[in-house]
Chains A and B, each alone.
Chain A
Amino acid sequence: MNINASYTFNASPQAVWDLLVDIDAVAACLPGLESLEPAGDNRYRAVLTMGIAAVTGRYEGTVELQDLDPPNAYRLAVEGRGKPGFVNGGAAIALRDTGGATEVTVEGTVQVGGTIARVGQRLLGSVSKMMMDRFFACLQKRVG
């Protein structure tokens, strides 16, 4: 499943970049995040609680920032699994200066398996989008 979105920040690309790779800020803004611990270069172990449709579950996995090209672009790779199944996702994130503001575009794919796939697939797109919206809205607030 593909998920695409874009968000505008009233800040320079560098300021937005700094925020996006600031692991404390990311941890504070990720909905349902229980813990985020470093596990190598640009790699973190994450524990996340998430509900899709009637399926709420706890997922353990990794988040990795790849192909860093500050302050223009990077890739985000997420892998998680828990009782409701597994979630694998990847996103290409690009920052673009729009003159005084920065537009962040996200082109992502999500793959799920297990109970979430059987029961939650219909809602997966909208739930993923909602979580992303919340995440970026939280970061936007931090930029002020």
Chain B
Amino acid sequence: MSTRIFGSGIRRREDPRLITGSATYTDDLTLPRMVHAAMLRSPHAHARITAIDTSKAAAAPGVIAVYTHADTEGGLQPAPCAWLLPDSDLKIASYHCLAKDVVRFAGDIVAVVVAESRYQAEDALELIDVGYEPLPAVTDPEAAAAEGAPKLHDEIDGNQAFHWKVAGGDVDAAFAGADVVVKDRIVQQRLIPNAMEPRAALASFVGATGELTVWNTTQNPHIVRFLTSLVLGLSEDKIRVIAPEVGGGFGSKIAAYPADFLTMFCSRKLNRPVKWTETRSENYQSTTHGRDHVQHVELAAKNDGTVLGLRCTVHAGMGAYLSTAAPGIPTILHGLMLSGVYTLPAVHEDVYGVYTNGVPVEAYRGAGRPEATFMLERMMDVLAARLDMDPADVRRKNMIPKFDDGHEVVTTLKYDSGDYPGALDKVLSHADYAGLRAKQKAGPANGTYTGLGLATYVEICGLGPSQVAGAIGFQGGLWESAIVRFHPSGKVHVFIGASPHGQGEETTFAQIVGSELGVDPQDVKVFHGDTDNTPMGWGTYGSRTTAVGGAALALTARKIRDKAKVIAAHLLEAAVEDMDYEDGKFFVKGAPDQSKTIGDIALMANVAWNMPEGVEAGLEASTFYDPPNFTFPFGAHLAVVEVDAETGAVALKRYVALDDCGPQINPVIVEGQVHGGVVQGVGQALWEEAVYDEGGQLVTGSMLDYALPRADLLPDIEVLSTVTPSPHHPLGVKGIGEAGTIASTAAVYNAVMDALRPLGVTSVRMPLTPERVWQAIQDARQAKG
């Protein structure tokens, strides 16, 4: 493998088109005869629809059609939930694309208008007369599960979507034999993903052929195609889904949405291309949100800091309906990760998925793992404080020792490889942790308290073996496929099922091919995101695109190398077993001067003038790669904060992130992913929250009120790494897309609590706004008397 290409921080090939405005997003596309759709969304969080009069809207200038639920009967099935969590008493409420009789969140779609222009469509929305009979609403997951709570779906008692459990070891014995038990109630607030590009769909149904083409802002076009065939009742081969340039997703572009299906439905009805693009405001009230857990956590330990067991109950708000992959997020991707980097002898968790009158909740960067990491890492700090131990020491005491090839934890997952103490030690020494602690001991200066916060983590990536996907109810496979095709000139086309949307895999995939076959990455073009022109793939989420798709690609390149070697042996009149390969050159062992390059072979294979007997023309191969296990990246993060006790303002002074994703194909891209991830995690700790009022209205409905992280609020992020290859992966790589988010919320939260410890504050609800921190300080002062 050429180290020149693999591991080189070459610039992202995507960037020139992205930063010069030359990229084509869904909304940039215009088709002949195209018309525009606009969605009428419920202003009520919960209401019965008593009447809908669309006559005025239908008569408005430019309006071509207005549809309500009744018009879609028979033509449009409800948006499906595709993660059928087993053993959980899962109850899926019908998520009608247009609300039927009842609206269940402010943003639920009631009608769709199609008009010649977008302005006409939007204006006509105002002319639709909908009678609503408001019903009581509930948006807090714990409150929604309580007796007497407003009921969202007649057929579902207690608003309970599912009850899932994970158990291992003897947790009752662990607590019975504990010296100390520490507890906390943690609210993982609801977050809005805020991809830079809002969602959009352009659907073009051609009646004469019965074929539907859809351009869609999606992380997984093949899944959209599959679900579209179910929802619209069209044969899969008649549907083409294209994800053109997609401007980020963070999980919010996994789901197949009612608005997308409606756009397709309208196109089919009208036999014309129909485009719909959401506004940012619409994005906030309808595109999936993340997190929304209320967690009750208890940790049992011995006086020396040895952890004995973890017991927790989580109420996970699912919103009004179950989004495509939603049930798997607070369960499989959360509960199975509760051992973290530690030797945890016993665990028991109950997770209740709860319907609430909010936007459906889906994966959001990290998806379940930040919520697990936070619980565990917060409790480590609470335990350390109780025992008056240093948080680093408590962690080290419980860490799984370094391992290279498999370690099974109490939740039954088998981690692939890890060196958790090594990661922690490197962070501590880089940051001069001992020095920082010594300085902190000197006490606050001018009312400013310093805090240090640690968070270690292991995450589950490279989703995953398809057999496991089946066992956990995921309604699809989780393998990936790749085709590599050499042209006569030696240039390469790669066709890949995975669908990157900002992560830079057009670059890293070219580097994989380049390093495996000795070609310049510039000569490798990567095609993705088009169900007609790429092989099947299961999408980009769960940090799986490089981990699974990249493996498919590496194995494909190796198949090509094997074939090329046979052709080279023939051309050099040597036996195949006498051939050697290095850096794109094939030669007889010991005679590197007489060689054939991969380019020579590509030309010969394509013209086929002189091929070995029995060898087909062409230089092309494909692989379906189904991983034998997940990959388990890990790391350790440290945050240093200052808290102004007078104002409650928190300043993040330093941030050190060590992430081990195995060998790094492109360290610059890795660093970029870590930066973005860290910032989103810090956002949860300090600023971000989707807030509903008591009537179920989203009051953080724009960027005026939803506080996104800003560059001026963040320090330079100090990015470190260690390299622990995955033993089961062809390249050893593990995945990096979500890593930064997983530890950073806990690290920053722990740092703020560490700063506030001398003031007697032990728990503050996130985000840690100045008001909340100040109030907590006042409350603690009053409690002290």
A83–B695 CA distance with the chains assembled, in angstroms: 19
On whether the beta carbons of A82 and B126 are closer than 8 Å, the reply is: yes
Q: Any chain B CB within 8 A of the CB of A134?
A: no
Contact of A113 with B281 in the complex, beta carbons under 8 Å:
no
Pick from A4-12, A93-101, A114-122 the stretch touching chain B.
A114-122
Contact A114 B106 (CB under 8 A): yes
Q: Does B43 contact A (CB under 8 A)?
A: yes
Q: Which single member of B125, B284, B697 contacts A83 (CB below 8 Å)?
A: B125
User: Does A44 sit at the interface, judged by CB under 8 A?
Assistant: no
The reply to whether A119 and B281 contact each other, CB–CB distance below 8 Å, is: yes
Specify which of B45, B125, B126, B697 lies most central, judged by the most chain A CB atoms within 10 Å of its CB.
B697
Give the contacting residue for A118; candidates B44, B126, B697; CB below 8 A: B697
- How near does chain B come to A60, taking the closest CB pair, in angstroms? 10
Q: B701 near A119 (CB under 8 angstroms)?
A: yes
Contact, CB under 8 Å: A119 / B43 = no
Q: Among B44, B45, B704, find the residue whose CB has the most chain A CB atoms closer than 10 A.
A: B704
A16 close to chain B: CB less than 8 A? no
Collect the chain A residues with CB atoms within 8 Å of residue B700's CB: 118
Give min CB distance, B53 to chain A, whole Å. 13
Is residue B101 contacting chain A, with contact meaning CB distance below 8 A?
Answer: no
Q: Given A86-B43, A122-B705, answer yes or no on A117-B125 (Cβ-Cβ < 8 Å).
A: no
Chain B residues lying within 8 Å of A53, measured Cβ to Cβ, are 704
Quick check: is B739 within 8 A (CB to CB) of the other chain?
no
Task: Report yes or no: B705 in contact with A117, Cβ–Cβ below 8 A.
Answer: no
Q: Which residues of A contact B756 (CB under 8 A)?
A: none
What is the CA–CA distance of A81 and B43 in the complex, to the nearest angstrom? Answer: 10
Offer 9 A-B interface pairs, CB within 8 angstroms, sorted by A. Answer: A86-B44, A113-B106, A115-B281, A117-B43, A117-B106, A117-B697, A117-B698, A118-B700, A118-B702
User: What CA separation (Å) do A130 and B699 show in the bound complex?
Assistant: 21
* Residues of chain A with a CB closer than 8 A to B281's CB: 115, 118-119
Output the least CB separation between A29 and chain B (Å). 27
A111 on the B face (CB < 8 A): yes
Q: Is the CB of B699 within 8 A of A113?
A: no
A85 close to B (CB within 8 Å): yes
Residue in B44, B45, B693, B704 whose beta carbon sits within 8 Å of that of A119 in the complex: B704
- By a CB distance below 8 angstroms, the chain A residues around B45 are 113
Residues of chain A whose beta carbon lies under 8 Å from any beta carbon of chain B: 53, 81-83, 85-86, 111-115, 117-119, 121-122
Shortest beta-carbon distance from B578 to chain A in Å: 72
Is B724 an interface residue when CB atoms closer than 8 A count as contact? no
Nearest residue in A to B695 (C-beta to C-beta)? Answer: A111
B695 in contact with A118 (CB, 8 Å): no
- Sort chain B's interface into a size bin: 10 to 19
Residues 682-707 of chain B, each 1 if its beta carbon lies under 8 Å from chain A, else 0: 00000000000101011111101100
Which residues on A sit within 8 Å (CB–CB) of B543? none
A121 touching B693, Cβ below 8 Å: yes
Q: What is the bound-complex CA distance between A85 and B42, given in angstroms?
A: 9
Q: Are A118 and B285 in contact (CB under 8 A)?
A: yes
What residues of chain B lie closer than 8 Å to A117, measured between beta carbons?
43, 106, 693, 695, 697-699, 701
- B138 smallest CB distance to A (angstroms): 15
In the bound complex, what is the Cα–Cα distance between A113 and B103 (angstroms)?
Answer: 13
By a CB distance below 8 angstroms, the chain A residues around B43 are 81, 85-86, 113-115, 117
In chain B between 658 and 715, which residues have their CB closer than 8 angstroms to a CB of chain A? 693, 695, 697-702, 704-705
Inter-chain contacts of A119 with B (CB < 8 A): 281, 701-702, 704-705
Q: Which residue of B lies closest to A124 (CB)?
A: B699
Chain A neighbourhood of B704, CB < 8 A: 53, 119, 122
CA distance A27 to B45 in the complex (A): 32
Contact of A115 among B44, B693, B695, B701 (CB under 8 A): B701
Q: Mark B118-156, 1 if CB is under 8 A from A, else 0.
A: 000000011000000000000000000000000000000
Contact B125 A118 (CB under 8 A): no
B465-484 interface with A by 8 A CB criterion: none
Bound CA–CA A112/B106 (angstroms): 12
Distance between A143 CB and nearest chain B CB, rounded to angstroms:
37
Smallest CB separation, A115 vs chain B (Å): 7
Contact count A vs B, C-beta below 8 Å:
53
For window 272-287 of B, CB contacts with A under 8 Å fall at: 281, 284-285
Chain A contacts of B697 at CB under 8 A?
112-114, 117-118, 121
Q: What are the interface flags for B95-106 relative to A under an 8 Å C-beta threshold, 1 for contact and 0 otherwise?
A: 000000000001
Given the known interface contacts A82-B126, A83-B126, A119-B281, the answer about A113 and B695 at a Cβ–Cβ threshold of 8 Å is yes
Residue of B nearest to A85 (CB): B43
A82 → chain B, closest Cβ, in Å?
7
Tell me the minimal C-beta distance from B521 to chain A in angstroms: 45
A124 CB, min distance to chain B CBs, angstroms = 9
B284 contact set on A, CB distance < 8 A: 118
Q: Chain B's nearest CB lies how many Å from the CB of A27?
A: 24
Measured CA separation A77–B698 after assembly (Å): 24
Question: Across the two chains, which residue of chain B brings its CB closest to A83?
Answer: B126
B49 to nearest A CB, angstroms? 14
Q: Which residue of A lies closest to B123 (CB)?
A: A83
What residues on A are CB-neighbors of B285 within 8 Å? 118
* Contact residues in B for A81 (Cβ distance below 8 Å): 43
A122 to B125, CA, bound (A): 26
* Cβ contacts under 8 Å, B125 to chain A: 83
| 3 cross-chain pairs, A with B, having the tightest CB-CB distances, nearest first | A118-B701, A114-B43, A117-B697
CB-CB < 8 A to B699: which residues of A? 117-118, 121-122
A47 CB to closest chain B CB, in angstroms?
13
| A111, A112, A115, A117 interface centre (most CB from chain B within 10 Å) | A117
Minimum CB–CB distance from B113 to chain A (whole Å) comes to: 13
Complexed CA–CA distance, A111 and B702 (Å)? 19
- B702 proximity list for chain A (CB < 8 A): 118-119
Task: Give Cα A115 to B126, complex, Å.
Answer: 13
Given pairs A82-B126, A113-B695, A117-B698, 17 additional interface contacts (CB within 8 A): A53-B704, A83-B126, A85-B43, A112-B697, A113-B43, A113-B106, A115-B43, A117-B43, A117-B106, A118-B106, A118-B697, A118-B700, A118-B702, A119-B701, A119-B702, A119-B704, A122-B699
Q: Which of B43, B700, B701 has the largest number of chain A CB atoms within 10 A? A: B43
Q: Bound state CA distance, A86 and B265, in angstroms?
A: 29
Interface string of B146-176 (1 = CB under 8 A from A): 0000000000000000000000000000000
Which B residue's beta carbon lies closest to that of A115? B281
Q: Chain B CB within 10 Å — which of A53, A81, A118 has the most?
A: A118
Which B residues lie within 8 Å of A121 (CB)?
693, 697, 699, 701, 705
CA distance A117 to B697 in the complex (A): 6
Q: Which residues of B contact A111 (CB under 8 A)?
A: 695
> How far, in whole Å, are A75 and B705 apart by their CA atoms in the complex?
33
**Nearest chain B residue, comparing its CB with the CB of A111:** B695
Instruction: Find the B residue at minimum CB distance from A1.
Output: B693
Q: What's the Cα separation between A96 and B20 when bound, in Å? A: 68
Shortest C-beta distance, A22 to chain B (Å), equals 31
Closest to A121 in B: B699
Q: Given the complex of chains A and B, what is the CA–CA distance between A114 and B134 in angstroms?
A: 13
Closest-by-CB residue of B relative to A113 is: B43
Min Cβ gap B559→A in Å is 54
The distance from the CB of A56 to the nearest CB of chain B, in whole angstroms, is 13
| Contact residues, B429-453 vs A (CB, 8 A) | none
A82 CB contacts on chain B under 8 angstroms:
126
A136 to chain B, nearest CB (A): 27
Closest residue of A by beta carbon distance from B41 = A114
Query: Which residue of chain A has its CB nearest to the CB of B45?
Result: A113
Measured in the bound complex, the distance between the Cα atoms of B770 and A68 in whole Å is: 47
Contacts of A83 in B (CB 8 A): 125-126
| A111 vs B700: C-alpha distance when bound (angstroms) | 16
Give the CA-CA distance A113 to B701 in the complex, in Å: 11
Nearest CB of chain B from residue A137's CB, rounded to whole Å: 29
How near does chain B come to A14, taking the closest CB pair, in angstroms? Answer: 37
